[in-house]
Chain A
């Protein structure tokens, strides 16, 4: 039988996979994709809680409204982030994060 716990565990694992990718990979585009995966994992948690927290027999639509806003913000973030990546590529001719270490001190 599927419980809320099942969904939370799947979301946790998806988030962890994304985190591992962000830490381990060097290609900035792959890192960015892993970030998107982590955002989606958080969305899955919200939708699962919305479904299990019934109001008058209906799902809690406040949580789904929050997911809607998260997806919108993520879409805007992807557009700006990819523009920054393109600008970075123009400056360095590389998408390897190890070539960008000016702020490392």
Chain B
């Protein structure tokens, strides 16, 4: 991957991320967050994580942000007033962010893998294809994946599905249950207490 592309995507992600915090209007914040997530999805794609990048766009930049915008417009939120801005909170937040960035960046370079260049470590599809020929390899019986690997293509979605359904089936079902519980919870939370209101009206 060319280096300028990475810097451009990182700039988009961080720049719009900063706009989310700085914008006074919540709608502007939400739209900046959409751009921030899109840049992040592009960064995922530069890391050969095509499915995760797609999910990031569909779920985060799509569904989640539409939900946010919907709530912002439903509640009809006015712009934040300037006078009430707490100075201690703003200064404290900036100091906290600066300290955290310094700590994380100073730590990030300290382990051996961190200096590995992306271009020095390309995906080795032929090695994967050879490894899958072994009878004990988890991909041995996966005909579709092996066909793609033999052709020199990365079957990203199929490999992801193989990992999820082969190694984490219980976790996947728990996720389904979690979403169901979440849906029920939302219905319960947003339900108006009609019985109480009727008794009040009468």
Contacts and interface: CB of A to CB of B under 8 A. Distances in A.
B72 A4 contact: no
B116 to A, nearest CB: 6
A52 B64 CA distance: 29
B119 A65 contact: no
9 contacts: A1-B117, A2-B3, A6-B10, A19-B96, A29-B68, A47-B47, A69-B175, A80-B185, A87-B189
Interface string B53-76: 001100110011001100110110
Interface string B170-192: 01000100110111011001100
A24 B163 contact: no
Contacts of B101: 12-13, 16
B90 A44 contact: no
A71 B179 CA distance: 12
A95 B17 CA distance: 21
A22 B96 CA distance: 11
A95 B75 contact: yes
A45 to B, nearest CB: 9
Given A19-B96, A20-B94, A85-B71, 15 more contacts: A13-B14, A19-B93, A20-B93, A21-B20, A24-B21, A29-B30, A36-B33, A36-B60, A40-B56, A47-B49, A52-B116, A56-B131, A58-B154, A68-B160, A87-B189
B60 A53 contact: no
A36 B17 CA distance: 11
A103 interface: no
A76 to B, nearest CB: 4
Given A7-B43, A17-B14, A80 B127 contact: no
Given A14-B14, A76-B182, A89 B123 contact: no
Contact of A27 (B80, B132, B168): B80
B30 to A, nearest CB: 7
B89 A12 contact: no
B92 A14 contact: no
Point out which of A47, A62, A86 has the most chain B C-beta atoms below 10 A from its C-beta. Answer: A47
Nearest to A37: B17
Contacts of B49: 47, 50-51, 59, 64, 67
Contact of B21 (A5, A15, A17, A98): A17
Nearest to A72: B175
Given A17-B14, A17-B97, A48-B47, A87 B190 contact: yes
A25 to B, nearest CB: 7
Contacts of B26: 27, 29-30
A45 B180 CA distance: 28
A71 B60 contact: yes
